[in-house]
Amino acid sequence: MNFRYELIHQDKYCDARLGRLHTPRGVVELPTFMPVGTRGSVKGLTIEMVRQTGAQIILGNTYHLALRPGEETVAALGGLHEFTGWTGPILTDSGGFQVFSLDKLNKIDEQGVIFRSAIDGRLVHLTPERSMEIQQHLGSDIAMVLDHVPPLPSPPQVIAEACQRSLRWAARCLQVPGRAGQVLFGIVQGGLDLELRKMCAQELVAMDFPGYAIGGLSVGEAPVDMYRTIAGTTPYLPAEKPRYLMGVGTPTDLLESIKLGIDMFDCVMPTRNGRNAMVFTHQGTLRLKNQKHSRDRSPLDENLKTPYSHYSRGYLRHLFLAGEMLGPILASFHNLAYYADLMRMAREAIAADCFLDFMAQQKSQWAGPPRVALD
């Protein structure tokens, strides 16, 4: 089976899209949320548990896997699929976000970026060509171009230079001979500048990528600014190809972005917040360490049935207070299962042309989930 996006239906009253992503390793129903398997593992969960959440596709991190165990080691062990045991599609990011957000830069120029490894301090040179090489060794189904991710806010000149550099790097990524069965997505940059976003999207579309991502958002800007930027970008992305919003976010962010025509998401929030005793439910967020849950026999979410939904809130609270590792595991599992269920419900609402009503109903039930994941 070749890579192909299928647009099934668009809601009559907004830009929400129901689609399918056909890949050599299976079909992904869209919109979808991708659990983040940063180092070849969705933190705290076995790959069988990840499947049980309802996830259809997962994300691997180029930066971390290149540093440890090294992409050649992953390749020698059969690539990411055999290495992890995940048989469905895998998307790998380019490493750009981690380079620019986690490590002190030593040098950035047209060739790429030189930085120090967070593991052993050695100098690492990441170029567009090198990012492609790493991702090909990892054997993902979807690879991402290397992009320059500037912090927000930044001076307009910095944003413009990073956007132009991202375009030049994207063109270089395309020049690298591809791996059979692997497709490459372009990434739209431009900060909160709608003209830059438009220009970047149009330039990338002219390069004819199989799919497009919107990057550089959910990095501290106000929600209204993020939504405005998405709304100002998606009209310039082709309707016949998938749209991926990188690193987002809360349930509210997901629904607002689906309304604007986004198909794919990833974020560490479900598992990171789960490890910190915060769970998402169809009724809002729960802080499991709160005293009110100490003798609560209720499940985490009455409307979400999973293999582990019989555990009570009181039991989960006990696990966290006792420092038992099972607490973060069960909470992380629940959050990913909730995100998958939310995407399922969104797809059903789009098919019925009632996505806006569905979103309004969901938001009325939530208790204002935080946008920033806990440390």
317-328 pLDDT tens trace: 999 999 999 999
Q: Choose the weakest-confidence range: 120-129, 141-150, 204-213, 295-304.
A: 120-129
Per-domain boundaries in the chain: 4-273
Quote the pLDDT of residue 14.
98
Rounded to the nearest integer, the mean pLDDT of the chain is 94
Sheet bearing 26-30, strands edge to edge: 4-10, 17-23, 26-30
Residue 108 pLDDT grade (very low, low, confident, very high; cuts 50, 70, 90): confident
Contact 183, 132 (CB under 8 A): no
Is the predicted pLDDT of residue 371 greater than 50, yes or no? no
Is the predicted pLDDT of residue 66 greater than 50, yes or no? yes
Average pLDDT over residues 336-343: 98
Contact 20, 43 (CB under 8 A): no
Is the predicted pLDDT of residue 203 greater than 70, yes or no? yes
Bigger pLDDT: 214 or 107?
Answer: 214
Q: Please tell me the chain's helix, strand, coil percentages from 3-state DSSP, rounded to the nearest 5.
A: 40, 20, 40
Quote the pLDDT of residue 100.
66
Q: Tell me the C-alpha distance between 263 and 296, whole Å.
A: 37
| Beta strand pairing call for 90-92 and 36-37 | unpaired
pLDDT > 90 fraction of the chain, expressed in percent and rounded: 87
Is the predicted pLDDT of residue 99 greater than 60, yes or no? yes
| Beta strand pairing call for 58-60 and 284-287 | unpaired
Is the predicted pLDDT of residue 102 greater than 80, yes or no? no
Is the predicted pLDDT of residue 1 greater than 80, yes or no? no
Q: Tell me the C-alpha distance between 233 and 150, whole Å.
A: 18
Q: Tell me the C-alpha distance between 76 and 204, whole Å.
A: 34
Average pLDDT over residues 344-361: 98
Is the predicted pLDDT of residue 264 greater than 70, yes or no? yes
SS3 state of residue 13: coil
- The CB density around residue 297, as the number of other CB atoms within 10 Å, is 8
Q: What is the DSSP letter of 234?
A: G
SS3 state of residue 126: strand
Give me the active site residues, please. 93, 266
Q: Tell me the C-alpha distance between 67 and 35, whole Å.
A: 21
Quote the tokens at residue 108: 């950035």
* pTM score of the predicted model: 0.95
- CATH fold group of domain 4-273: TIM Barrel (3.20.20)
CA pseudo-torsion sign 232, 343, 56, 302: positive
Residue 200 pLDDT grade (very low, low, confident, very high; cuts 50, 70, 90): very high
In tens, the pLDDT along 19-35 reads 999 999 999 999 999 99
Q: Tell me the C-alpha distance between 102 and 166, whole Å.
A: 19
Residue 95 pLDDT grade (very low, low, confident, very high; cuts 50, 70, 90): confident
